[in-house]
Amino acid sequence: MCGIVGLYLKNPQWHSQLGRLFGPMLEEMSARGPDSAGFAFYHDEAPGIEKVTVYDADTCRDWQALAGEASRALSTPVTATKVSTHALLRAESPPGTLRGWLERTHPDTRITSSGHTIEIFKEVGLPHDVLAEFGARERTGTHAIGHTRMATESAVTTEGAHPFNTGADLCLVHNGSLSNHHRLRRRLAKSAGLVFQTDNDSEVAAGYLTWRLNEGATIEEALEAALVDLDGFYTFAVGTADGFSVLRDPIACKPAVLAETDDWVAMASEFRALATLPGVDAATVWEPEPATVYSWRGA
């Protein structure tokens, strides 16, 4: 069992409230996943910015030194903002530049996300504590995806927590378990050169979508293809730079509820996670159909 939630704000008036609305959603899913929690916030700050969130269990890690080194190497301003065990690095560089430099020169540094708008923070512990640790309730942006984990397929570690980010601005959270992830992992590593950071099955699903997107598919097309190539139980919530998608496997054992108003679209494992959203009493609430791609874009 795991809990997943997603909130996509259609009305820009709510963007400043994203974390305040999202926090209670994630916390309500604590019983479904009390061992770790994580979230991706999408916040388009300014054009030409590359954001990379990095993680180190050593809270004394000197992120300013890393930013300084990156700045000199890339000849562009790079800043570091420490957030508990994570740091958010910002560079004035094309997407992939800072990430590529980190992977080449600091291969031991754990990258939790990279892209133009995405910021992922995740940690072992109760969702309430993880939300507080990273100041989630104060965060702003267009959409957010979150996960509360009850581990089944791999160890309870920060790295094993969701969301998983495998390509610029893409993230995936997963409730369920995949049965063909070993074979798919080898295939993606061999034919597409994808590098995985964990043994987690859900990271393979994220990597699969990244591969499809890199091949030119839209996120909707990538998810349709996932229905064929992924074997197992899943409800996925997927974030992209400007979008939010939901997919359930054809058997649909894993729960999901969607709700929509003029102002927002929200998804959760259970309705109770949506019960605190403004205007939810008048929202359209429905259970997503099995094997059907739901997608919203362009906020």
Partner 1 sequence: MNATVIDLRASSVRALNRILQGREEKPQSAYEVRNPSGAHAVAVGLEHEISVDVRGHVGYYCAGMNQTATIRVHGNAGTGVAENMMSGEVRVTGDASQSAGATGHGGLLVIEGDASARCGISMKGIDIVVGGRVGHLSAFMAQAGSLVVCGDAGSHLGDSLYEANLYVGGSVASLGADCEEKAMEAADRETLDALLDRARMNVSSRAFRKFGSARSLYHFHVDKAGEY
Judged by CB, which is closer to partner 1: 225, or 285? 285
Q: Does 262 bind partner 1 (CB under 8 A)?
A: no
- CA distance between the termini of the chain: 31
Question: Catalytic residue at 171?
Answer: no
When the beta carbons of 219 and 267 are compared against partner 1, the nearer one is 267
Size of the site for partner 1 (CB under 8 A): 16
Among 285, 292, 295, 297, binds partner 1 (CB under 8 A): 285
Determine, following the binding rule CB under 8 A, whether residue 273 of this chain makes contact with partner 1.
Answer: yes
Site string (219-258) toward partner 1, x via CB under 8 A: ---------------------------------x--x-x-
State yes or no: residue 16 binds partner 1 (CB under 8 A).
no
- In the window 100-129, what residues touch partner 1 (CB under 8 A)? none
Helix axes 97-105, 63-74, angle to 10 degrees: 110
* Using rule CB under 8 A, residue 274 touches partner 1: yes
The minimum distance between CB 205 and partner 1, in angstroms, equals 22
Which residue number, 189 or 280, has a Cβ lying nearer to partner 1? 280
Q: Of 108 and 281, which has the nearer Cβ to partner 1?
A: 281
- Binding-site ranges for partner 1 (CB under 8 A): 252, 255, 257, 270-276, 281, 285-287, 289-290
Tell me the catalytic residues. 2
